[in-house]
Chains A and B, each alone.
Chain A
């Protein structure tokens, strides 16, 4: 086995050191080494978006990132989205708009939505669909997800 390496990164705001093999993806390290199993594995080839996390603030598919690449980086996973009490407005909007069924795509959608709304607080429906094109859902038919994202945008504006 190739020697394990130490990676130092800020994960969900916490300075974290973890051991990984160079061949591990960030997705594998998060789930298997750090027990952050909120990030899901769907396709493992970059197409489904279930494994979306923020790397230095930008959404990426963690199945196509090597864990070693996280050295010195800031990583935000679904576990880092909710405040210590309650839910993030995006999560609340997904719940109330019934934007999930089986739920495996949901963490990826919520993380991607967070990135979208942080840069574009009032997206049009088209912009939402474009921004979420890299996230697949086999259950909902997308419409409720798009509505939840538009609703989340309103909720975020109301709460500031």
Chain B
């Protein structure tokens, strides 16, 4: 690897100070599972690497009546082993359980997954489905960015030089709600999503009518897609297969994938529809407490 300095600030203020002083010449390090490889390949050559894992706000996982606050550098294993996340934020558990293998999950963070801003990142559709908000801090202060507005292109996002992602805030789950994430890959694990879908659904007290829904799509556009118009078709309808097919069809229309070695445009669009239906079915089962 190229030569660089390593610093591990112990406070958010110190991290922002060093990142803004170096003005774009420094790169934050969370789990390093993207960054270290990218530095080895010469894609990034930051003069300084700023390890975020000693900053309390970045490694905190806090559940309260207000919802979930997930520090940007918390590794996937800590997330997917948390019982309350499995029950209340199932899509997040699903995502963090399939990123890499165990060795990767012990390091890789959801914040790093999002900040790397790959179109196929496995956590992004779940973050959209769960209505996450990104807390971004920089030299000019702190701002909230809805997660669906965070990525702006492959490898690109709204972070300005000197800014970093501190945490993700999730609303507490509504009664009778459930969520799920699934991806299509040609093998069981250790691969990049050909299509990834996250969804959350809230049912009425009888468990029959859909009150609200969110759907996030991955790997079928330059950024993760918030399929709001597809999810809107579900509202007020009974949770039947016909209803879910409506949303699946609409989501197929929102997908703008590319052809590559992992799948053609045609296949990716088709798989988007299939996965949207399946993931909605799982989310509904979970909303009913059946899965």
Can you give 11 contacting A-B residue pairs, CB < 8 Å? A22-B5, A22-B49, A23-B4, A25-B1, A46-B103, A55-B106, A58-B106, A61-B104, A64-B31, A68-B8, A134-B100
Q: Is A131 an interface residue (CB 8 A)?
A: yes
Q: Is B190 an interface residue (CB 8 A)?
A: yes
Chain B 259-279 interface mask (CB, 8 Å, partner A; 1/0) = 000000000000000000000
Which single member of A21, A24, A58, A65 contacts B32 (CB below 8 Å)?
Answer: A65
Please classify the interface of chain B as helix (H, G, I), strand (E, B), loop, or mixed, using the class held by over half of its residues: loop
B4 engages A64 (CB within 8 Å): no
Contacts of B3 in A (CB 8 A): 1-2, 21-23
Q: CB within 8 Å of B: which residues of A?
A: 1-2, 5, 21-25, 44-47, 49, 52, 55, 58-61, 63-66, 68-69, 71, 112, 115-116, 130-135
Which single member of A45, A49, A58, A133 contacts B40 (CB below 8 Å)?
Answer: A45
Nearest CB on B from A61, distance (A)? 5
B102 engages A5 (CB within 8 Å): no
A69 engages B103 (CB within 8 Å): no
B101 engages A49 (CB within 8 Å): yes
Which single member of A2, A52, A55, A134 contacts B4 (CB below 8 Å)?
Answer: A2
A44 engages B51 (CB within 8 Å): no
B29 engages A66 (CB within 8 Å): yes
Nearest CB on A from B3, distance (A)? 5
Contacts of A65 in B (CB 8 A): 32, 36, 107
A52 engages B49 (CB within 8 Å): no
A66 engages B106 (CB within 8 Å): no
